[in-house]
Structure 1
Amino acid sequence: MALTDPVSVLSGVGPKRQAALASLGLNTIGDLLFYFPFRYADLQVKDLATAADQEKLTVKGIVVADPVVTRFGPRKNRLNVRLQIDNMVVMVTFFNQPWLKDKFSQGVEAAIYGKWDAKRKTMTGMKVLATQTADEPSLAGVYPANKNIRQKTIADLVKEAYAREGQQIPEIVPAGLRQRYKLLTDQQIIHGMHWPKSGQEAHAARRSAIFREFFLFECQIQALRLDNDATQNGLAIPFDNQQLRALISTLPFALTAAQKRVVNEICADMRSPHHMNRLLQGDVGSGKTIVAAIVMYAAVTARYQAALMVPTEVLAEQHYAKLTKTFADFPVQIALLTGSTPTKARRETLAGLASGAIDIVIGTHALIQKGVDFAALGLAIIDEQHRFGVQQRKIIQEKGLKPDLLAMTATPIPRTLAITTYGEMDVSTIDELPAGRQPITTTWVRRNQLSGAFKRIHAELAAGHQVFAITPLIAESEKIDLQNAEQLYADMQATFGQEATVALLHGQMKPDEKEAIMRAFDAGETRILVSTTVVEVGVDVPNATVMLIMDADRFGLAQLHQLRGRVGRGQAAAYCILVADPKNEMGVERMQTMVTTNDGFKLAEKDLELRGSGDIFGDKQSGLPEFRVADPVTDFATLQAAQQSAAALFQADQTLSAAEFAPLRAWLARQQQSLGSLD
């Protein structure tokens, strides 16, 4: 068995369990071994006399009565076990785990991990532990899990994978770097992260794991940059400047100085023989889409094709409608390609792309599927680029003639982080808003002041406008998240149902349901959209003038700013109402910052100062890559060290030809191979 073997080689992993593991990104033995706990449960036996109320702890005692299972509803039951601990008898209750009954019989010693209720002298059991020996770890890893697979199953599979493969783990980080930064080997990292005997051992393993994760990411970046810088891989696109000026002259507004600057930067890249790999970041509403239209037309004037890839079908349809209007008086053939494109239209579009009859295509992930071939793709643009990984960017680059790549994001990223995490990309920034853009009036109210907020919504509905109402994602519990959304939906129905159609959108809906609801809102059939942030509402609805955000203190500032930017896109005045009862001074400061500034870059810097990247960019909405162990803000010094180390390594040996780099070379080759595996 090797690290690249599928998880199906492990005992008990059939197709169903394999699919469940895949939902967590666990496809190979290596994935499992490097899937680390996010926290640890302390298995050291605790003296109850010193235990705090509601503390999670381990106790050991003698079972003094036969265990009893009580049923109180369909699939609901509790198992009660009485334990003699020192001079006290404690009732331990396990909910909905009747099979644990067989582990307890009178007179047997049992060790249990659970939550202690000091007032009632009872305990809610979470885990039954075997009696520990001196060699066993005193900390138990708690793994990220989901509804498809239990945490214990993950822990058991990790243990089996290590037992079979633990002695054969290759060292990917070169020995010189491990020595320089006093890092553990991969085998030591895996053992120390999964089964630490102390907090110090867990800390040492995590420190090394963080460097390893950053270093491998930066090596990928270096390999990409080398590939992109190779002249033979690039396209020189000799666009027609006169035709470009003609298009710009037909626009109903003047470009800002910032838009002109970034158009010039992108066009200069396109004209050069080097491969363009550029990130365009601009605040919400700064006019990135028209920049994309201009540079796509530049490619078309040189007889190349252009593709624009976006994360949702609704967004693709909106871009298609806008671009069709922009190019109405120009000889440009535009097509739309999404998962919902009818078979006949899809067949015609694929034929048009392959023959070169279609100049510009707008689409979703459908653009990077097998069977989508271009006659002469010269420019690929990815919008909301954080929704697509490095792999998907790479796949579209492999289409056609190795097209120039432009990624766009509306998530302002502090420059130091942008340079470090997008080391393979040049960065262009639109740092001013177009003239005439409606300012958005932002107010912060507490829950007991909601009636005032509702007055504003009544007024906007009466004026024929639409409303977004957002409730936050609670990462720990999809169930609570859904309950919150359903409650807000019920409240909005009760308050506004007589005057407006209200719809609910959440992450547990099927993709086609989500698309249908967004289309109805986009068309104005739905007047109030209640949504969780599981679903990005990154669409352009000019008639929406109110963004109501519940529990706003749960969001990062940049994410609040993203949501705020969904309104104020039409001619009418727009309002963002933050509803929050912050529990500390930092929360109050964040709400006040939102009220006083509309500058996304200032907000990103402020959140970086206050909270760190995970909170800045929100759950899975980050403009930064996702890391499993590391955090680009908290661990910024390590990120810089990893970047410098990777850069120095590739500068000294571009092909990593030295024998000591063989495992790293093989790892990078595997990443490259996996790029083409996405269908």
Structure 2
Amino acid sequence: MPILTLDDHNRLHLPEELLKRLELRPGDRLEAELDNGTLLLRRVAPPSPSASPVQRAISRKNLQTGIQFIRGVGPKLAELLAKKEITTVEDALFCLPHRYEDRRQLTPIRLLKPGGVQVFQGTVQSAGATTTKGGRRFFEAVVADDSGSISLKWFNTNPVWMQRTWKTGRRGIFSGEVSLFGHQRELHHPDVEWLEEGQDAALLMAADQLNYGRLVPVYPLTEGLHQKGMRRVMAQVTEQFLPNVENVIPPRLLPAGHLPLREALEQVHCPPVDAPLAALNEGRTPAHRSLAFDEFFFWELGMALKKRGITLEEGISFQVTHRYTKELAKLLPFQLTAAQRRVLSEIKEDMMAPHPMHRLVQGDVGSGKTVVALMAALVAVENGYQVAIMAPTEILAEQHWHNIHHWCEQLGVTVVLMTAAMKGKARTEALAQIADGRAAIVIGTHAVIQEKVAFHRLGLGIVDEQHRFGVLQRSVLKKKGQNPDILVMTATPIPRTLAMTLFGDLSLSVIDELPPGRTPIETRVFFESRRSQVYAMVREEVAQGRQAYLIYPLVEESEKSDLKAASQMAEHLQQEVFPELRVGLIHGRMKPEEKERAMLSFKARELDILVATTVIEVGIDVPNATLMVIEHAERFGLSQLHQLRGRVGRGSHRSRCILLTPGNLSEDGRKRLQVMEATTDGFRIAEADLEIRGPGDFLGTRQSGMPDFRVASILRDGSILEQARDAAVRLLAEDDGLGSAEGQRLREELVRRWGTRLELAGIA
């Protein structure tokens, strides 16, 4: 029996007796050296949890080694890697493969099956540029072995260079995803390793263990960066620097089956030969799950510490005097729902506490968040403080101002609008009223947190459509006063995993009840061929004394777009389709007074049809409007469609929403419209939207505060996020201030990873 054996990956396997003599432990590595025919083995132990601060500092410093200092990485390659945000060894270790290919053995061409990445060898039979019937040019090569042939295709490539490279009779090893076009199998843009004359493919695969003979990692690239070069760099980095990776999270907090960080990274970059390919490609192996937990844990620990810091800060202890709130209740033409009263009670309790409120209010379209926010604002005003209300768009800010100003004017409370569009005297006067305290409530966009805006005595900040902003914007608003209370709201229901990720430092209130009288909205998808039927439905509603919205994605048509646009369609509808009806128009480019005039005319039933863009997504409440037609519905996101649909169904009459589409839908477009037909539940819609579009697009903007997780996915790893949050909370219950030696190590790592992002430098 041999003393030492090598596996298929040239990894050394030692007998158990020798392992015991070397005193190897999980995570240890061996250094081998050949000395005059004698193999010398040395144990290289990683930094232990009890390693000295100096040892840990050395390990961290090694991980910060510039990628340009790795063997084989020159200035040009380092520049390309920097485009993928890989500037250090640590960046490289956490740049994970986005998929894997099974290159463990060659498959005869006859046995290649569509739908998966496969590896085969063959000889070029023919090659040349060609053109499709539609005029699209591409380069095609036919490759064959003894069992059959297959077509390889490239699009948008240099045909002259390809013709020189793909010579008839040349042999190679090819890999790529096999697809079926008609009845013909083909590969698009395959990888190729050319064979020298007489060279055996099996021998080449055995010699090149980096790119063949295993489950091969496929890394995200940028132009000029190639997989072989990337794999070479990653192999060098993992081999040389993995021993410097240490586990910082205490073992008692780790979930069952959690792998040490070093082992997880090694398995992700160099999977075991028997690893399940599907689990690797889905990011669901124990190694992937362990890395996701590690990343989530520090984010959740930071959020928990931030929330704890907010709780311990000295804030404003408001008194509820009912000076304005009782008067407002008398002015309202409706009674607050039980859910509104419950949430308002939670807000008041927070405001009366001696520490700052940080609360998120979620409520579906039409649930009455604005009134709840105004009640909270008036509590602050009753105590002599100012309130800032920040909305993501000028249109929404203007609509809030219109509604709130209408009520506050009757109470003797001054409300000022502040947007980036304001210039000259209007802006100067608004700034002066905010600075000297005459403006009790300030409503605006990002302009509210600009440096020149100075509040006299800010006591409460309200952020509307919170998912459009984020941690940093909330922080800037908070600095406009002395630890003011912060109330954030969203009409876009946010799935639990996303809410935990973005708003872990906030308390949560949900307005889960619609005002009485709201009716269910029937939603149906109609294709362009049924347009006349849709117009008949509009006439039917108007004949019954109701009104309709017709929504378009653009204001005006462009030469390059085939989308119908609001301005042209309003004219077309009035003159050619509904000459007997009264058609109005509203869009975001109109002046505020023009928009207000159009809204009021529609509400006063002076118009039968309101043609609009998404400007009416929020803010208009017309109970008599019972039909909404959304043109090119496939072009809207689910959240936006849900918000638009919420403009109807506000009265006691039956309401309908028609999603009109040309019919040539993408897969995502089809899914969105199916979800809209199936449910009016905002939370189910939000879950589906998040699943279809992913976090970045779901949030609508990159300044949303969404953390840039390198490994974890809030869509895939929701259960791991829950585990990480529980572990972070458990840790703080044991070690409240992270004052222990263990806590100190965790604080150092937390600040290093997320300190700037979460403004946590002060906790170190």
- Select which of 238, 246, 249 maps to 1:174: 249
For residues 247 and 333 of structure 2, the distance between their equivalents in structure 1, rounded to whole angstroms, comes to 55
Distance 1:501 1:298 in 2: 53
Give the SS at the match of 1:427. strand
Q: Does 1:328 align with 2:402?
A: no
Contact 2:128 2:141 in 1 (8 A): yes
Match among 375, 397, 400 for residue 456 of structure 2 = 375
| Alignment partner of 1:620 out of 673, 690, 698 | 698
The answer (yes or no) to whether the contact 1:318–1:540 under 8 Å persists in 2 is: yes
C-alpha deviations, 1:395-428, integer Å up to 9, x for none? 3233321211111122346789968975433222
Distance in 2 of aligned mates of 1:355 and 1:161: 60
Map of 1:214-225 to 2, 5 A cutoff? 214-225=296-307
Choose which of 79, 90, 97 in structure 1 pairs with 2:157: 97
Q: Within 2, Cα distance between the matches of 1:277 and 1:27?
A: 37
Deviations 1:531-551 (A, max 9, x none): 7xxxx9742344675444689
Q: 1:354 to 1:625 in 2, by over 3 A?
A: same
Alignment correspondent of 1:317:
398
3-state SS of paired residue (2:657): strand
One-letter amino acid of the counterpart of residue 344, structure 2 = V
Q: What amino acid sits opposite 1:274 in the alignment? A: H
Runs of 5+ consecutive residues of structure 1 not aligned to the other structure: 472-481, 503-513
How does 1:527-538 map onto structure 2 within 5 Å? 527-529=610-612, 538=617
Q: Is the 8 A contact 1:4 1:28 kept in 2?
A: yes
Deviations 1:273-314 (A, max 9, x none): 022111212221011101111211211221222111222221
Identify the range of structure 1 (33-42 vs 309-318) with the bigger mean alpha-carbon deviation: 33-42
Structure 1 pair 14/177, CA: closer, same or farther in 2 (3 Å)?
same
Matched to 2:241, the amino acid is Q
Q: Which amino acid aligns with 2:522?
A: T
Of 106, 112, 116, 2:179 maps to: 116
Query: What is the distance in 2 between the residues matched to 1:550 and 1:30?
Result: 49
Q: CA deviation at 1:68?
A: 3.5
CA 1:578–1:119: 2 relative to 1, 3 Å: closer
Partners of 1:663 and 1:634 lie apart in 2 by 29
Deviations 1:194-233 (A, max 9, x none): 5646436662332113322332232122112211210x43
Deviation at 1:157, TM superposition (A): 7.3
2 CA distance for matches of 1:269 and 1:103? 71
TM-score normalised by structure 2 residue count:
0.67
Deviations 1:608-627 (A, max 9, x none): 7xx69625998514999678
Q: In 2, are the aligned partners of 1:41 and 1:140 still within 8 Å (CA)?
A: yes
Matched, 1:654 2:729: no
Task: Name the structure 1 match of 2:368.
Answer: 287
> Cα distance 1:179–1:575, how it changes in 2: closer, same or farther (>3 A)?
closer
Aligned partner of 2:108 in structure 1 is 47
Describe how 1:252-271 pairs up with structure 2 within 5 A.
252-271=333-352
TM-score (norm 1): 0.75
Task: Say which SS state the counterpart of residue 492 (structure 2) adopts.
Answer: coil
Instruction: Give the secondary-structure state (helix, strand or coil) at the position aligned to 1:489.
Output: coil
- The 5 A counterparts of 1:404-553 are 404-412=485-493, 422-437=503-518, 439-445=519-525, 447=527, 451-457=532-538, 465-468=548-551, 489=564, 497-499=572-574, 515-516=588-589, 524=598, 527-529=610-612, 538-542=617-621, 546-548=627-629
572-581 or 56-65: which moved more? 572-581
Is residue 141 from structure 1 mapped to residue 214 from structure 2 by the alignment? no
Q: Are residues 1:673 and 2:756 paired? A: yes
Range that drifts further, 178-187 or 617-626: 617-626
- CA distance change for structure 1 residues 518 and 123 in 2, over 3 Å: closer, same or farther? farther
Letter of the structure 2 residue corresponding to residue 61 of structure 1: G
Equivalent-residue separation in structure 2 for 1:161 and 1:138 (angstroms): 15
Contact 1:91–1:123 (Cα < 8 Å) also in 2: yes
1:505 aligns to what?
Answer: none
Deviation, 1:78, is 2.3
Alpha-carbon separation, structure 2, partners of 1:674 and 1:114: 40
Note closer, same or farther for the CA distance 1:559–1:351 as it changes in structure 2 (3 Å cut).
Answer: closer
Is 1:278–1:426's contact at 8 Å kept on the other side of the alignment?
A: yes
> Per the alignment, do residues 186 and 554 of structure 1 end up closer, same or farther by CA in structure 2, a change over 3 Å counting?
farther
Shift of 1:384: 1.6
Letter in 1 for 2:218: G
Cα displacement (A) at 1:345: 4.5
Q: Aligned residues, how many?
A: 631
Secondary structure of the corresponding residue to residue 329 of structure 1 = helix
Q: Is the 8 A contact 1:310 1:382 kept in 2?
A: yes
Q: Is the 8 A contact 1:467 1:547 kept in 2?
A: yes
Indicate conservation of the 8 Å contact 1:170/1:663, yes or no: no
| Per-residue Cα deviation, 1:491-510 (whole angstroms, up to 9, x for no partner) | 997899343899xxxxxxxx
Contact 2:151 2:186 in 1 (8 A): yes
Cα distance, 1:530–1:338 mapped onto 2, change above 3 Å = closer
Q: Distance in 1 between matches of 2:694 and 2:597?
A: 29
> 2:397 and 2:332 mapped to 1: Cα distance?
21
Work out whether residues 552 and 565 of structure 2, in 8 Å CA contact, stay in contact via their aligned partners in 1. no
Assess, with a 3 A threshold, how the Cα gap between structure 1 residues 638 and 72 changes in structure 2: closer, same or farther.
closer
Corresponding position: 1:59 with 2:120: yes
- Structure 2: runs of 5+ lacking an equivalent: 1-60, 194-203, 578-586, 600-608
RMSD: 5.2
| 1:386 and 1:409 in contact (8 A); partners too | yes
1:434-453 CA-to-partner distances (Å, cap 9, x unmatched) read 2444x353143564756533
The 2-side partners of 1:633 and 1:665 are apart by: 27
Instruction: Give the superposition deviation at 1:635.
Output: 4.2
Deviates more, 1:217-226 or 1:129-138: 129-138
Amino acid at match of 1:52: K
Note if 1:356 corresponds to 2:437. Answer: yes
Deviations 1:624-663 (A, max 9, x none): 9678555657644433322221111112223333444555
Return the offset for 1:338: 3.1
Q: 1:79 aligns with which of 116, 131, 139?
A: 139
Structure-2 residue corresponding to 1:475: none
CA shift digits 1:309-340 (9 cap, x unpaired): 22222111111121221211334333333333
**Deviation larger for 394-403 or 312-321:** 394-403
Name the aligned partner's letter for residue 47 of structure 1. P
Equivalent position amino acid for 2:209 in 1:
A
Residue 322 of structure 2, aligned match among 219, 228, 241: 241
**Separation in structure 2 between the aligned mates of residue 172 and residue 224 of structure 1, nearest angstrom:** 23
Structure 1, residues 218-252: CA drift from partner, whole Å, max 9, x if none? 2122112211210x432212353223212332233
Contact 1:282 1:288 in 2 (8 A): yes
CA distance in 2, matches of 1:362, 1:302: 19
Report SS of the residue matched to 2:521. Answer: strand
Q: 1:298 aligns with which of 373, 376, 379?
A: 379
The answer to whether the 8 A contact 1:52-1:118 is kept is no
What amino acid sits opposite 1:393 in the alignment? R
Matches within 5 A, 1:329-344: 329-342=410-423
Aligned CA distance change for structure 1 residues 563 and 404 (closer, same or farther; 3 Å): same
Q: 1:128 aligns with which of 179, 185, 191?
A: 191
Amino acid at match of 1:302: N
Greater CA deviation, 487-496 or 330-339? 487-496
Structure 2: distance between partners of 1:500 and 1:617: 43
Question: 3-state DSSP class of the match of 1:327?
Answer: helix
Q: Which of these two proteins has the greater Rg computed from alpha carbons? A: 2
Cα gap change, 1:69 to 1:591, in 2 (>3 Å) = closer
Cα pair distance change 1:33/1:50, threshold 3 Å = same
